[in-house]
Copies of this chain bind each other. A is one copy, B any other.
Amino acid sequence: MNRKLRMGMIGGGKDAFIGAIHRIAINMDGQAEMVTGALSINPEIAIVSGRELFLDEERIFTDYKLMLEKEAAIPANKRIDFISIVTPNFVHFDPAMMALEKGFHVAIEKPITFSLDQAKQLKTKVEETGLQLLLTHTYTGYPMIKQARQMVKNGLLGKIRKVYVEYPQGWLSNFIEGSSAQAAWRTDPTKSGIAGAMGDIGTHAFNLAEYVTDLKTIQVSSNLNTVVEGRKLDDDGAAFLKFDNGSTGVLMATQIAAGEENNLKIRVYGEKGGLEWKQEDANSLLVKWMNKPTEIYRAGSSYLSSFATSNCRTPAGHPEGYLEAFANHYRNFIFTIRAKMNNEKPKEEWLDFPGVDEGVRGMAFIETVVASSKSNQKWTDFIV
């Protein structure tokens, strides 16, 4: 098999944000093409959006169930290979389950579901079907994060002792629920789930920390706040983490840090040295040593791990960014699917994309961090 994969999208109409990001990520490498979409439950938006994306009229839907039914019914050489689910959190689980049942691979926005229980059900379904599931935790798609993980894995820092991960944003500093659709659903517990900032960006920080260090969180002590008056969910919080190797971490996530953009940052310290990476300066990885100069590892350089290199498109000094990180996940997901279609063994580097296991841990994080914040006890166990 040597062709572009075909995909359909659920959600992501022209009034949405993240759907357009997914489409750019899918388009970039020319490995897949979008052929169908249930882009909105609003028919007018669905149609206009579909036309702007040059979809065939008969493959523009408002009802994802209908779309999945129709796709399942058409000949294999026209049928989609995977769907991307880019709806608000409360509309993740059902379309994902249905798509898997129809035999389609699934890409899905984080957090994976509305509840931990749904996440576990989805995991069972993925395992039953043997299909691929991509959870778009964008930030682990950055090549310097791949590099960081490999350096930790290879023991260059020695045993990990401390992790700081933080994700300050400022866009929810005011009560904009009335004017911003993005703000409205993200702060609405019926659409977003039990957590606000912790679900939206805390999960990214959590995923990043576990990905880079390969440690598992075992206990959490958190303090969540709703800073902006009238808001229904947390918009700020922090948590102490205990990891399974005995080390600790601090996780901070806030959406009321007025003036901040998307300032995700991780620092990891081991016995011998430390790593520092900032999303807003994504092509550099600082590696700090005892008694030696700090080193700046750079995306696109010759000396990087294959996991980093295979996620770069350009030589060092040509900055790649958020969209490329996103595209890396899709490319690895697609390469894995295609390899399996061809009965080939996917490269280890391709298999390194976030999936349903990360989804389950993310939902467990949300449930634990919310429970801890309500508790008077210092520590709450992290139970998956």
Contacts and interface: CB of A to CB of B under 8 A. Distances in A.
Interface string A17-45: 10011011001111000100000000000
A164 interface: yes
Nearest to A320: B321
A259 interface: yes
Contact of A223 (B27, B240, B375): B240
Interface string A244-271: 0001101010101111111100010111
Total copies of the chain: 4
B24 A313 contact: yes
A207 interface: no
Nearest to A319: B321
Given A259-B269, A318-B321, A323-B313, A2 B51 contact: yes
Contacts of A169: 317
Interface centre among A254, A288, A303 (most CB of B within 10 A): A288
Given A295-B294, A317-B280, A322-B314, A258 B262 contact: no
A343 interface: no
B298 A295 contact: no
A85 interface: no
Interface residues of A, number: 92
A315 interface: yes
Contact of A317 (B29, B161, B263, B378): B263
Nearest to A379: B376
Given A27-B28, A378-B221, A4 B252 contact: no
Contact of A29 (B27, B166, B263, B314): B27
Nearest to A158: B258
A259 B281 contact: no
A258 B282 contact: no
Contacts of A324: 321, 323
Contacts of A263: 317
Given A258-B288, A378-B375, A28 B273 contact: no
Given A221-B378, A227-B162, A259 B288 contact: yes
A121 interface: no
A170 B288 contact: yes
Contacts of A269: 168, 170, 254, 256-260
B30 A23 contact: yes
A272 interface: yes
A90 interface: no
A274 interface: yes
Interchain residue pairs A-B with the least CB separation, the first 7: A259-B288, A261-B317, A262-B317, A319-B321, A318-B322, A293-B295, A321-B321
Given A28-B28, A170-B288, 8 more contacts: A20-B313, A171-B315, A227-B247, A258-B289, A281-B319, A283-B321, A318-B323, A376-B377
